[in-house]
Structure 1
Amino acid sequence: MSTQDGPLAGRIALVAGATRGAGRALAVELGRAGATVYVTGRTTRAAVSEVGRATETIEETGELVTAAGGEGVAVPTDHLAREQVAALVARIDRERGRLDILVNDIWGADHLIDHPFTERMWETDLDRGLRMLRLGVETHIVTSHHALPLLTRHEGGLLVEVTDGTAESNADYRGAFYYDLAKYAPLRMALGLGRELSGFGCTAVAVTPGFLRSEQMLDTYFKVTEENWRDGIAQDPHFAISETPTYLGRGVAALAADPERARFNGRSLDSGTLAREYGVTDVDGSRPDCWPYLKRVLAGEEVDAADYR
């Protein structure tokens, strides 16, 4: 099927925080479904963000969206710079006159995390902790503040808040004060903004991947590639339940094309739930279901990851 006839043909999307990982995959899969996708990030071919990875750029993401059959428009943007976000939304309005899908996947704070979580709140450097909140929470607020007036101009708009964990899995403490706040906040954003957007015929959801095989996870933490990722299971047996970023991307693209998506308004959805709902799979044809697996693991049960793929 030509993407001109795809389920998202004619839709305009903004994926904020699309340089790599889930954000990049979300943008590509929305494009594959026919959408025009504006993609933003801080790492460009001319400058590297504080994340310190020059191997992925926002321009490359835009090209990948176009190669998938959509139209990718790369706009380097720091989402803590309000004037840059305002200019971005004004550009979308000027060029397209509408915004149908807003994905807030802005993060870029992995380098601020204590691995593993061992620091108590009062032992964590305050500037480091507050920076994590600015990157993972304030950026989402700034972006929604400027973009939602355009999204609500037409009925059917969709806001997607990307986080780590569902409302259920995040009900318990995540083991690090600032990380816990940063990853719980998008769940509340989806809940609250779902209430506010429903009056405009729009929907808000929070989504989460499972154990994500992002570029950084592969080459920095496990020192493997996508081709030999299973070698990482020797370091962490739970890596057997991991998934590619494309898996969540496929699920969210299907959600965006669902005319009945309002039934999920205010809820949090993980990649496994989206896969079951819409019949999508990961790139290898499997259907990882990470969060139910981890729930049993944390309960002290012995679980075979193969039963959850």
Structure 2
Amino acid sequence: MNVDLTGKVALVAGGTRGASRAIAVELGRAGAHVYVTGRTSGEHRSEVGRSETIEGTVELVERAGGSAVAVRVDHLDPDQVRSLAERVDAEHGRLDVLVDGIWGGDTHLGWEQPVWEHSLDASLRMVRLGIDAHLITSHFLLPLVLREPGGLVVELTDGTEEYNAKYREGTTLAFYVVKSAAHAFARGEAAETAEHGCTAVAFTPGWIRSEAMLDEFGVTEQNWRDALTAQPHFCISETPAFVGRTVAALAADPEKKRFSGQTLNSGQLAKIYEVDDVDGSRPDGWRYMREVADQGKPADPTGYR
């Protein structure tokens, strides 16, 4: 599929790192002008505490031949998001693609802690980051997406709707609620924007080799397979570029409305749009998790990438 977004205007909220950063890069590579927003910029750091910045994402977009601008925004602050919307309106008068990848809640995850043992402050913070910030963002930016038919809204999450239909054992209640909420966001936004010709979806990467994930395993993109000793099922992992390529292909699809209200995933879209990861494979991460990892089978990506 020819991914051409020339002349389109996109905004990636929370585009500092990981899947959101890669999506910004691939939207820019395809020709869209990209606004990259987030809390970590220059000397300012969010609670995530990592070194990646929104300016760093812009540099990657430009290195890929695209154009982008970094705007430091806390999407929990309605005034800041209102100002962002006013700026985009003044400069372009519309948004063609809105990707809401706001999160930053992993530092609050207390794995395998029931709600009565997990920090209440941490639980509420995850809800604020994963639900409140998304609602605030939609309130102010969706009107720009509705200016012209064909707009796209993408709510990033973790897990397909099928996978999240039951409790995610080993996580925490607040994390599970937040990530499941994206499915409802997609359904609700699809219903409310349908008459405007807008497409709204939720989207989940597979097991993504983000900056943080590579650091957690103590590997780099060049030697990531060394992590298989500790976690054999990491064999199904995918690069952030794979994630970005699938979302860019979706954004360029003139028939994307057929997906509105659904939760999509990178492996699924890769098949539809014939998108490959950087190594030429097509990881189907969530199908692998259901059929191999969750069934207690030995790690083997044969037939899944």
Task: Measure, in 2, the Cα distance between the counterparts of 1:216 and 1:225.
Answer: 10
Aligned residues: 301
Distance 2:194 2:61 in 1: 30
Which residue does the alignment assign to 1:308? 304
**Superposed, which structure 2 residues align to 1:175-194 within 5 Å?**
175=169, 176-194=172-190
The equivalent residue for 1:260 is 255
Query: Which of 13, 17, 23 is the matching residue for 1:16?
Result: 13
Query: What residue in structure 2 maps to residue 36 of structure 1?
Result: 33
Correspondence for 2:148 among 154, 164, 168: 154
Q: Distance in 2 between matches of 1:300 and 1:68?
A: 41
Matches of 1:113 and 1:307, distance apart in 2: 33
- Structure 1 stretch 253-262 or stretch 67-76: which is displaced more? 67-76
Q: Give the ranges of 4+ consecutive aligned residues of structure 1 lying more than 4 Å apart after TM superposition.
A: none
Q: Secondary structure at the match of 1:159?
A: strand
Q: Which residue of 232, 241, 249 corresponds with 1:246? A: 241
1:164 aligns with 2:158: yes
> How far off its partner does 1:6 sit?
6.2
Say which of 115, 129, 133 aligns to 2:127: 133
C-alpha deviation, 1:177, in angstroms:
0.4
Work out the CA distance in 2 between the residues paired with 1:110 and 1:285: 30
Is the contact made by 1:92 and 1:98 (CA closer than 8 Å) also made in structure 2? Answer: yes
Q: Is the 8 A contact 1:241 1:306 kept in 2?
A: no
> Paired residue for 1:62, among 47, 58, 61?
58
- Given that 1:293 and 1:303 are in contact with CA atoms closer than 8 Å, whether structure 2 keeps it comes out as no
Q: CA RMSD in A?
A: 1.2
Q: Measure, in 2, the Cα distance between the counterparts of 1:113 and 1:304.
A: 29
**8 A Cα contact 2:233 2:300, kept in partner:** no
Alignment of 1:88-167 (within 5 A): 88-114=84-110, 117-167=111-161
Provide Cα deviations, 1:261-280, integer angstroms capped at 9, x if missing partner: 00001001110001000000
* Letter paired with 1:89: A
Shift of the 32–173 alpha-carbon distance from structure 1 to 2, 3 Å rule, reads: same
User: Counterpart in 1 of 2:275?
Assistant: 280
Which residue does the alignment assign to 1:81?
77
Question: Which residue type is aligned with residue 63 of structure 1?
Answer: E
Structure 1: runs of 5 or more not aligned: none
Which amino acid letter does the alignment assign opposite residue 276 of structure 2? T
Q: Deviations over 1:246-293 (max 9, x none)?
A: 111100100000000000010011100010000001111111011111
Residues 235 and 300 of structure 2 are in contact (CA less than 8 Å); yes or no, is this contact kept in structure 1?
no
Q: Deviations over 1:8-50 (max 9, x none)?
A: 0110000000000000000000001100000011111211111
- Once the two structures are superposed, residues 188-238 of structure 1 have per-residue CA deviations (whole angstroms, 9 ceiling, x without a partner) of 10011101111100000111101111001101x101000000000001011
Counterpart secondary structure, 1:140: helix
> Distance between the aligned counterparts of 1:138 and 1:306, measured in 2?
40
- Which structure 2 segments of 5+ residues have no match? none
Provide the C-alpha distance between the structure 1 equivalents of 2:302 and 2:209, rounded to a whole number of angstroms: 17
Q: 1:225 to 1:14 in 2, by over 3 A?
A: same
Q: Percent identity?
A: 56
Q: Distance in 2 between matches of 1:198 and 1:20?
A: 31
Contact 2:3 2:252 in 1 (8 A): no
Letter aligned with residue 92 of structure 1? V
Partner Cα distance (1:133, 1:6) in 2: 35
Separation in structure 2 between the aligned mates of residue 295 and residue 302 of structure 1, nearest angstrom: 13
| Aligned AA (1:292) | R
Is residue 196 from structure 1 mapped to residue 192 from structure 2 by the alignment?
Answer: yes
Residue equivalent to 1:228: 223
